[in-house]
Amino acid sequence: MRSDTCSSRVLHISDVEAFHEQGFVRIDDAFSPDLADQARAILWRDTGCDAHDPLSWTQPVVRLGHYVQEPFRLAANTPALHQAFDRLVGPGRWEPTMSLGTFPIRFPSSEDPGDAGWHVDMSFGTGNPDFMDWRINRFSRGRALLMLFLFSDVTDDDAPTRIRVGSHRAIADLLSTAGEQGLTLRELAAVDFAGTAALPEVHATGPAGTVYLCHPFLVHAAQPHRGRNPRFMAQPPLLPRGGSEANGLPELSTKG
Ligand X SMILES: O=C(O)CCC(=O)C(=O)O
- Residues in touch with ligand X (CB under 6 A): 104, 121, 161, 220, 222, 233, 235
Question: CA-to-CA distance for 218 and 212, rounded, in angstroms?
Answer: 12
Nearer to ligand X, 21 or 131 (CB): 131
Nearer to ligand X, 19 or 118 (CB): 118
Question: CA-to-CA distance for 94 and 10, rounded, in angstroms?
Answer: 17
Which residues sit opposite 149 in a β-bridge?
A: 211, 234
Nearer to ligand X, 71 or 160 (CB): 160
Nearer to ligand X, 194 or 214 (CB): 214
Q: What's the closest the beta carbon of residue 65 comes to ligand X, in angstroms?
A: 11
Q: What's the closest the beta carbon of residue 83 comes to ligand X, in angstroms?
A: 26
Per-residue buried b or exposed e for 106-142, using 16+ beta carbons within 10 Å of the residue's own CB: bbbbeeebeebebbbbbbbbeeeeeeeebbbbbbbbb
Q: Which residues contact 58 (CB under 8 A, 6 or more apart)?
A: 49
CB 118 within 8 A of CB 164: yes
Distance of alpha carbon 182 from its chain centroid, rounded? 21
Q: What's the closest the beta carbon of residue 205 comes to ligand X, in angstroms?
A: 11
Nearer to ligand X, 6 or 202 (CB): 202
Q: What's the closest the beta carbon of residue 121 comes to ligand X, in angstroms?
A: 6
In order of 80, 83, 209, the CA distances from 8 in angstroms are: 9, 10, 18
Q: What's the closest the beta carbon of residue 106 comes to ligand X, in angstroms?
A: 6
